[in-house]
A and B are shown apart, each in its own frame.
Chain A
Amino acid sequence: MPWPLYLALKQLFPTGKRCSFYAATSVVGVMLGVMVLIIVQSVMNGFGHEIRSKIVDVNSHIRIEANQVFSGGEMLAEQVSQEPEVAAASPYAQGMVMLQYGAHPAFPIIRSVDTSAGPQVLDIDEYLMMGQLSDLDDESLIVSSGLANSLGIALGSVVDVYTPLMLERMKEDEILLPRELEVVGVFETGWNQVDANTVLCTLSLMQELYGLDEGVHGVAIRLHDEDKVVAVADKLNAMLPPGVNAHTWMELDRDFLFILGLEKSMMFFIMLFILLVASFSIASSLMIAVLRKTREIGLLSAMGGTPRQIAAAFGLQGFIIGVIGTTLGVLGGLLLLYYRNEIIHLFARITNSEAALLRYYQFSNLPVYYSWVDFVLIISLAMVVSTLAGVFPAWRASRLKPSKALRSE
């Protein structure tokens, strides 16, 4: 072993002791920083992934839309389905209605879903809490859980639906009566925005409610491979007539995704400060060590140590602390993430908040997603920051003139 490495190790782990106080605190500092970063980023990624997959489930991968209602939606969907990348395509219409149950009104978003037996664009079945998609016909609705709760709707409830078309007709002194529809299903996606206020119906009912005749608002498309979404959208745009455009879900939910990404980077930067503080404490401890050992450093030069070797004997300590702290931090982080649900439930039981947890977060298990990019980023940042902490003290040590160092009393 080269002697600078030997001395660096010995200063961290002196003979007769397991490790020096300074080494222990520095390692713990780096470890905490890495651990917290890994946990926070993995949980953020978990939420992000969950939300993204819900967005895709609810909003589909690609939507073809025009500036106005267009006819021939079935044909377009048929044509798009021929593309090899496309798993399913179906025309849809959406809008807003007033829904009344008893004396309670609500103004939900209404969307048509594909009820045919073929491949489905939207994975509604997976989110149905009550009822079945096959029960949906032109005289029925599926409502979101939030809406069902706030209006007290249950399966079999009959609700009145008023549409903008009725207002239009009223101007022409024509009165259309509200449609009475039966609720045949309740769904919940976990995505609050959708769960609060959405109803689903068949396309033909939607066309009738909105007076679209054969017209649709767009065609929703699901792909086999999510990663090809941009390429397929570009390809479709090249085929489509002017005025009709294909949009990816990333474009359509751009603001939401932006905020999701922003939150993640903000968390990252805030947690990064733990690492920075740890590195400052390494730097100051090392600096004190260099000053206290000035004369010993003088002796090391007298015994043949070059400035570079002396710099290494001190600077390497930062690196070693980085290696140990990062390793422990990654292991600790993974361990805590592995037992995250046990920990949360234990915590909830101790604080008596298990019920509240379920009510407000709609999840009983914390989602995580391990992103290798994030791991590499966190590990390299921790290594760079703790190694840099050793640079200045090392430089100071190497600059000491031997005679001056030996003279200093």
Chain B
Amino acid sequence: MNDPLLEARSLAKAFPSPEGPITVLSQVDFSISAQESVSIRGESGAGKSTLLYLLTLLEAPDSGELLWRGEPVLNKSIRAVNRLRAKLLGFVFQSFYLMPELNALENVLIAKRMLGGLSSADKTKAEGLLKRVGLEKRLNALPTTLSGGERQRVAIARALMNNPDIIVADEPTGNLDEHTAEQVMDMLLGLCKEEGTALILVTHNPSFASCTNRQLFLQHGAL
């Protein structure tokens, strides 16, 4: 395929502890290309979330190289990284992290607000996204009045709002029952395909993992 959107070479991360540093990740190589979907599985505590934070530079690796769209980002300023990240990546987490004061539509629009001003086209777009996740009737609902599955669907719409190249999802169905999880996962995979967005999916569920182009397994600090 074409050039990787995101590439990591021999990333390593250790956390300090009273009994000396604990190596969580050692020598992780990873890359993902446009429109590709990759799943990462691993035991609890294997370091899956840690890997996502390193790849998205929400946490700095101890060593290794990281390139976004072919550009090394480890020595860039926080400001520059923040801007790049906001355009390159969309996030979906296990617990949805919606702003409780904002309704569904405003929660989706906040992603765009943070990149700069809003236009009326943005509103149409956010409404469209919410419609595609089946929430066209709940545009003005506050998060507290939405079910878990509905909240996660709002979060997915928010992640897609800025047309990111990659969606990073950390156990997006971890807090949902089986049936809802399937619905949400279908939506996520379907939307990524339609939008041509790449997907990094951390999940425990092998059947969800099998829906991705590439399945990786994190073990002993390496993929």
Is there an interface contact between A403 and B53, defined as CB atoms closer than 8 Å?
A: yes
Tell me whether A10 is interfacial, beta carbon within 8 Å: yes
Instruction: Known contacts A299-B91, A303-B86; decide if A10 and B99 are in contact (CB<8 Å).
Output: yes
Contact string against A for B residues 79-110, beta-carbon threshold 8 Å, 1 for contact and 0 otherwise: 10011011001010101011111110010001
Complex interface: stretch among A11-19, A232-240, A280-288? A11-19
- In the bound assembly, the distance between CA atoms of A401 and B60 in angstroms comes to 11
Tell me whether A109 is interfacial, beta carbon within 8 Å: no
Is there an interface contact between A10 and B106, defined as CB atoms closer than 8 Å?
A: yes
Tell me whether A70 is interfacial, beta carbon within 8 Å: no
Category for how many chain A residues contact B = 20 to 34
Is there an interface contact between A3 and B114, defined as CB atoms closer than 8 Å?
A: yes
Which residues of chain A come closer than 8 Å to B214, judged between CB atoms? none
Least CB distance from A22 to B in Å reads: 11
By beta carbon, the residue of chain B nearest A15 is: B103
Is there an interface contact between B82 and A304, defined as CB atoms closer than 8 Å?
A: yes
Contact string against B for A residues 1-31, beta-carbon threshold 8 Å, 1 for contact and 0 otherwise: 0010011001100111000100000000000
By beta carbon, the residue of chain B nearest A305 is: B114
Is there an interface contact between A295 and B97, defined as CB atoms closer than 8 Å?
A: yes
Tell me whether B49 is interfacial, beta carbon within 8 Å: yes
Instruction: Known contacts A15-B142, A306-B78; decide if A7 and B56 are in contact (CB<8 Å).
Output: no
Instruction: Known contacts A10-B102, A16-B142; decide if A403 and B58 are in contact (CB<8 Å).
Output: yes
Is there an interface contact between A302 and B56, defined as CB atoms closer than 8 Å?
A: yes
Contact string against B for A residues 290-313, beta-carbon threshold 8 Å, 1 for contact and 0 otherwise: 000001101111111111000000
Which residues of chain B come closer than 8 Å to A307, judged between CB atoms? 78
Which residues of chain A come closer than 8 Å to B106, judged between CB atoms? 10, 15
Number of interface residues of B (CB under 8 A): 30
Is there an interface contact between A11 and B82, defined as CB atoms closer than 8 Å?
A: no
Tell me whether B216 is interfacial, beta carbon within 8 Å: no
Is there an interface contact between A296 and B97, defined as CB atoms closer than 8 Å?
A: yes
- In the bound assembly, the distance between CA atoms of A14 and B107 in angstroms comes to 12
Instruction: Known contacts A305-B114, A306-B79; decide if A7 and B140 are in contact (CB<8 Å).
Output: no
Which residues of chain A come closer than 8 Å to B85, judged between CB atoms? 302, 304
Of listed B58, B83, B89, B98, residue having the most chain A CB within 10 A: B58
Tell me whether B115 is interfacial, beta carbon within 8 Å: yes
Is there an interface contact between B58 and A301, defined as CB atoms closer than 8 Å?
A: yes
Which residues of chain A come closer than 8 Å to B93, judged between CB atoms? 299, 406
Tell me whether B111 is interfacial, beta carbon within 8 Å: yes
Is there an interface contact between A296 and B113, defined as CB atoms closer than 8 Å?
A: no
Least CB distance from B198 to A in Å reads: 17
Tell me whether B195 is interfacial, beta carbon within 8 Å: no
Tell me whether B186 is interfacial, beta carbon within 8 Å: no
By beta carbon, the residue of chain A nearest B81 is: A304
Is there an interface contact between A403 and B110, defined as CB atoms closer than 8 Å?
A: no
Taking a contact as CB atoms closer than 8 A, the residue among B59, B79, B97, B142 that contacts A403 in the complex is: B59
By beta carbon, the residue of chain B nearest A409 is: B95
Instruction: Known contacts A3-B113, A300-B114, A303-B86; decide if A407 and B49 are in contact (CB<8 Å).
Output: yes
Least CB distance from B214 to A in Å reads: 24
Tell me whether A402 is interfacial, beta carbon within 8 Å: yes
Is there an interface contact between B114 and A10, defined as CB atoms closer than 8 Å?
A: no
Least CB distance from A406 to B in Å reads: 7
By beta carbon, the residue of chain B nearest A296 is: B97
Which residues of chain A come closer than 8 Å to B82, judged between CB atoms? 301, 304-306
Taking a contact as CB atoms closer than 8 A, the residue among A14, A295, A298, A306 that contacts B101 in the complex is: A14
Which residues of chain B come closer than 8 Å to A7, judged between CB atoms? 99, 110
- In the bound assembly, the distance between CA atoms of A10 and B105 in angstroms comes to 14
Is there an interface contact between B58 and A296, defined as CB atoms closer than 8 Å?
A: no
- In the bound assembly, the distance between CA atoms of A15 and B104 in angstroms comes to 10
Task: Knowing that A14-B102, A304-B114, A401-B59 touch, tell me 5 more A-B residue pairs with CB under 8 angstroms.
Answer: A11-B101, A298-B58, A302-B91, A304-B85, A305-B82
Interchain Cβ contacts under 8 Å between A and B, 11 examples: A7-B110, A14-B102, A16-B140, A20-B101, A296-B99, A298-B97, A300-B114, A303-B91, A303-B114, A304-B85, A306-B79
In the complex, the 5 A-B pairs of residues with the closest C-beta atoms, listed nearest first: A304-B86, A14-B101, A403-B59, A299-B97, A3-B113
